[in-house]
Amino acid sequence: MLAYQIATKGGEAGLAEIAVPEPGTGQIQVRIMACGLNFADLLTQKGTYQDIPDAPFTLGMELSGIIMKTGDSVDNLSVGDRVAVFSGQGGLAEFGVFDAARATPIPETMSFEDAAALQIAYGTSHMALAHRARLRPGETLLVTGAAGGVGLTAVEIGKLMGATVIAHARGADKLDVARAAGADHLIDDAEDLRDRVLALGGADVVYDAVGGAAFKAAFRACNPEGRLLPIGFASGEVPNIAANHLLVKNLSVLGFYIGGYMKFRPDLVRDSFRQLIDWHSAGKLHPHISHTLHLSQVADGIELLRTRKSTGKVVVRPTAT
């Protein structure tokens, strides 16, 4: 089978032909139908992500597909089941073997592409806003990078949770995407972010996927007791936070990494994904997929993320059918 692998530590990623893996105890073998790309795949490929597996390994953190085989002690899933898998690795391949505990059945009404796009981006936004920031109805949520893979989901989920959403993105096309996802107010990257947010009454919660200057401006536009979520650093700059400035408005900066929850509170991740599936089934979530690519085009997809030319999600379909 084909897989998009990093074969050696520090080596280049590329397509490789490897044996189809067999499931062990507590594992399932999945024919992979779709895999969502994430900015973390780019960082992993560069060797700068916080959680890099030992080489050789196959990239691809979230996937969907059909169970082909089950190992011993798997009693809650069966051959033929359609599943989404929060894999952490292994999704950019034609087949993969994963722990059954990381798989969730998906309904027939959900496409494989939507299932692959739903887990990390929507899961990050839902858990960050609901579990960490405790976003409340009537509050104002500022989302930077609001047309990107995670930012767009924060706009959508923030509206579902009853917030007034301010979307910040680069250019009219991206702002139109954020508006379609439910944003109440739009701010172009060329505008003064702090002044515009303050003119709208300030932000109670900041969901920042950009870092750098955007985070600094959002920090200064927070209301008293505001909560800031540094979700990602698409600008390439990790901001420094002056702790004494937190005191003036009693602000909170809340770290969040969904992969960490998979290790110490996987139940929260599973509960969140079930909620997302329910919302999707009810027609309340509409994953925006700007590009659907083949396994041979993974490098092109990662370049789309690097240059921030995609909106919403980039999804790879490893198989032709």
**What pLDDT does residue 249 have?**
95
**What pLDDT does residue 320 have?**
55
**What pLDDT does residue 7 have?**
86
pTM value? 0.88
Task: For the domain covering 126-258, report its CATH number.
Answer: 3.40.50.720
Task: List, in sequence order, every beta strand (DSSP E) within 100-163.
Answer: 103-105, 140-144
Low-confidence spans in the chain with pLDDT less than 70: 320-321
**What pLDDT does residue 234 have?**
85
The domain segmentation of the chain, as residue ranges, is 2-118+288-317, 126-258
Chosen CATH of 2-118+288-317 out of 3.40.50.620, 3.30.420.40, 3.90.180.10, 3.30.565.60: 3.90.180.10
Quick check: 254 and 279 in contact, CB under 8 A? no
**What pLDDT does residue 49 have?**
84
End-to-end CA distance of the chain: 15
Assigned token pair, 64: 């969907």
